[in-house]
Amino acid sequence: MFISYEDFSKIELQVAEVKSAERLEGSDKLIKLQIQLGEESRQLVAGIGKAYEPESLVGRQIVVVVNLEPRKLMGEESQGMLLAAHDEDGGPILLVPDKKSPSGSTVS
């Protein structure tokens, strides 16, 4: 299925820095992240816990969909979605800038 360029241009992607990360109690898959997008702080909940330890995420840059409608996961609000590919076993691989970028930078 194809989407128009106009539809694609509605998706806002930005570089974020992970400030803190912790596993959600009762889940081996979900990690709650506090991220920084320029001057704005947000919370994300991501299903990357089988592939990443929370402490290994702190300080890393990730790419985030910032204009996605917030959603509750296990009682926690996720205010965006990080981007990840899948490895050959179906596990997540974070999509990250190949060099340091200012937090909040637009991805185009």
* pLDDT tens digits, 18-36: 999 999 999 999 999 999 9
Distance CA(15)–CA(33), nearest Å, equals 14
CA atoms of 31 and 82, how far apart (whole Å):
12
pTM for the model stands at: 0.93
Strand partners, 32: 22, 45
Say which residue the tokens 């969909």 belong to: 65
Q: What is the pLDDT of residue 4?
A: 97
In the chain, the domains with their CATH numbers are 11-107 (2.40.50.140)
Find tokens 């299925």 and name the residue: 1
Query: What is residue 51's predicted lDDT score, i.e. its pLDDT?
Result: 96
Query: Nearest to residue 94, comparing CAs of 43, 42, 57, 66?
Result: 57
